[in-house]
């Protein structure tokens, strides 16, 4: 027998729950469109190789991968950034840079379901391709800050920030190849510090100050001051490394000036393998998961065969954001629900016309199709939260009028159709 439950790790949403998701998506769209971003819609199914090339160890283990009828190995997308890069390489390279793109869509990961972690969920994000400017990083924080302000979470979230470029420059200096870099970063991301150091011990590192620096970053990352770190790095003499740390310092100064809550954590590493520069996650106190994250990925376009194209982006988790709102900040505004009731079949055409007029003027309007007495209908719609019923019978039809009953005040009056909107607006203002 067919089960009525959705697949494990996936959920149905209806009415208020669905409305909250759409509300978050709508506010996100408004914020990024006003900032000059254009929407991209990409397929849910992509070639598996698009993600396996640089997806990171953990991501590849949790993908929905299968063969299609053409014997091609394909996957349900576990994230959307690689799809945006593919789109860029396929058809957007000739556009002026930087290219600002946003997306809203479903993604799939075969994780163990738990609070805030689903196998099907929604992401909304942006990507900026074609700029190395630190202003691009600052724009990410500014956009997210605007978004959280509009949904009422600005004072309740914190940005956790690091620069993966610091680790990259250290690893480059001690000549760790890309594959091993991904592995040790993966160990850091999963908190496997002992395995991280045991792996590095197998590499001959001539400069003891490098190991001391790594210990400072991984074990004291939340407490070390940027100025002290810069002073220490001056002793090692790796100019590129100093530049990466100065980026964190600049980001810190700007976020402070904007009044954004943030934490610099130099031990923080994100799971996706393609990050090359500043990275961040957004958290809310009391929740065991982040609600957004992103960072710079300057080499991903090249990995896919394109020319050097620096890029940065972020994604928010829609369901996680709704959960962070605690079901109180995205409630529907008190609306005015109207039911149109016909007492004669001859009034059906007029009822449809009136319903259209009401909807065009912003009123949520339903046509009654219940075969009940008028008194029972009035009681029923009042119980369901309707504010008005519009009644059209033979008498009203002949006189180009309708009967308007206010279900809150119980006032009832005969109104010219031409005056209907004015009367309803007057009631709306009074209530």
DSSP letter string over 316-384?
Answer: EEHHHHHHHTTTTSSPPPP--EEEEEESSGGGHHHHHHHHHHHHHTT-EEEE------HHHHHHHHHHT
Mean pLDDT by 10 residues, the chain (431 residues): 93 93 96 98 96 69 92 95 97 97 97 92 98 96 96 94 93 85 86 87 76 85 83 81 91 93 92 86 94 95 95 97 75 74 94 95 94 95 94 93 94 94 84 61
pLDDT digits (tens, 9 = 90+) for 130-160: 999 999 999 999 999 999 999 999 999 999 9
Apex 151 CA angle, 145 and 155, nearest 5: 55
Tell me, rounded to whole angstroms, the distance of Cα 89 from its chain centroid: 24
The tens digit of pLDDT for each residue in 303-332 reads 999 999 999 999 999 999 999 997 555 555
Instruction: Report how far apart, in Å, the C-alpha atoms of 280 and of each of 169, 180, 270, 283 are.
Output: 18, 23, 8, 10
- Pair of tokens at residue 268: 């923080």
The Cα 118–Cα 10 span in angstroms is 6
């Amino acid at each position: 027998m067919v089960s009525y439950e959705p697949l494990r790790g996936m959920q149905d949403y209806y009415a208020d729950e669905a409305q909250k998701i759409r509300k978050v998506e709508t506010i996100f769209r408004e914020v990024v469109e006003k900032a000059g971003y254009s929407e991209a819609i990409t397929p849910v199914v992509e070639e598996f190789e698009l993600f396996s090339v640089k997806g990171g160890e953990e991501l590849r283990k949790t993908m929905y991968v299968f063969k299609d009828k053409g014997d091609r190995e394909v996957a349900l997308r576990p994230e959307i950034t690689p799809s945006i890069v593919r789109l860029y390489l396929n058809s957007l390279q000739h556009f002026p840079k930087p290219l600002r793109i946003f997306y809203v869509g479903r993604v799939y990961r075969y994780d163990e379901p738990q609070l805030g972690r689903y196998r099907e969920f929604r992401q909304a994000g942006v990507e900026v391709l074609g700029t190395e400017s630190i202003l691009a990083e600052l724009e990410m924080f500014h956009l997210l800050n605007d978004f959280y302000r509009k949904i009422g979470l600005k004072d309740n979230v914190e940005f956790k920030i690091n620069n993966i470029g610091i680790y990259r420059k250290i690893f480059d200096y001690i000549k760790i190849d890309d594959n091993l870099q991904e592995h040790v970063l993966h160990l850091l991301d999963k908190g496997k510090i002992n395995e991280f150091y045991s792996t590095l011990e197998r590499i001959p590192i001539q400069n003891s100050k490098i190991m001391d620096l790594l210990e400072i970053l991984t074990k004291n990352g939340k407490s070390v001051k940027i100025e002290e770190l810069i002073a220490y790095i001056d002793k090692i003499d790796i100019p590129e490394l100093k530049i990466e740390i100065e980026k964190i310092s600049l980001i810190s100064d700007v976020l402070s000036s904007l009044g954004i809550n943030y934490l610099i954590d130099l031990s923080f590493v994100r799971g996706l393998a393609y990050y090359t520069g500043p990275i961040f996650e957004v958290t809310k106190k009391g929740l065991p998961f982040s609600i957004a994250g992103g960072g710079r990925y300057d080499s991903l376009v090249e990995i896919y065969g394109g020319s050097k194209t620096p890029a940065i982006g972020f994604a928010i988790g829609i369901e996680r954001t709704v959960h962070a709102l605690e079901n109180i900040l995205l409630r529907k505004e008190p609306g005015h629900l109207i039911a149109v009731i016909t007492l004669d079949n001859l009034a059906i055409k007029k009822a449809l016309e009136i319903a259209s007029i009401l909807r065009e003027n912003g009123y949520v309007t339903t046509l009654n199709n219940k075969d009940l007495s008028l008194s029972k209908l009035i009681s029923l719609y009042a119980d369901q939260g309707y504010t008005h019923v519009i009644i059209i019978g033979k008498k009203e039809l002949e006189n180009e009028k309708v009967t308007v009953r206010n279900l809150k005040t119980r006032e009832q009056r005969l109104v010219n159709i031409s005056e209907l909107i004015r009367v309803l607006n007057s009631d709306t203002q009074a209530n």
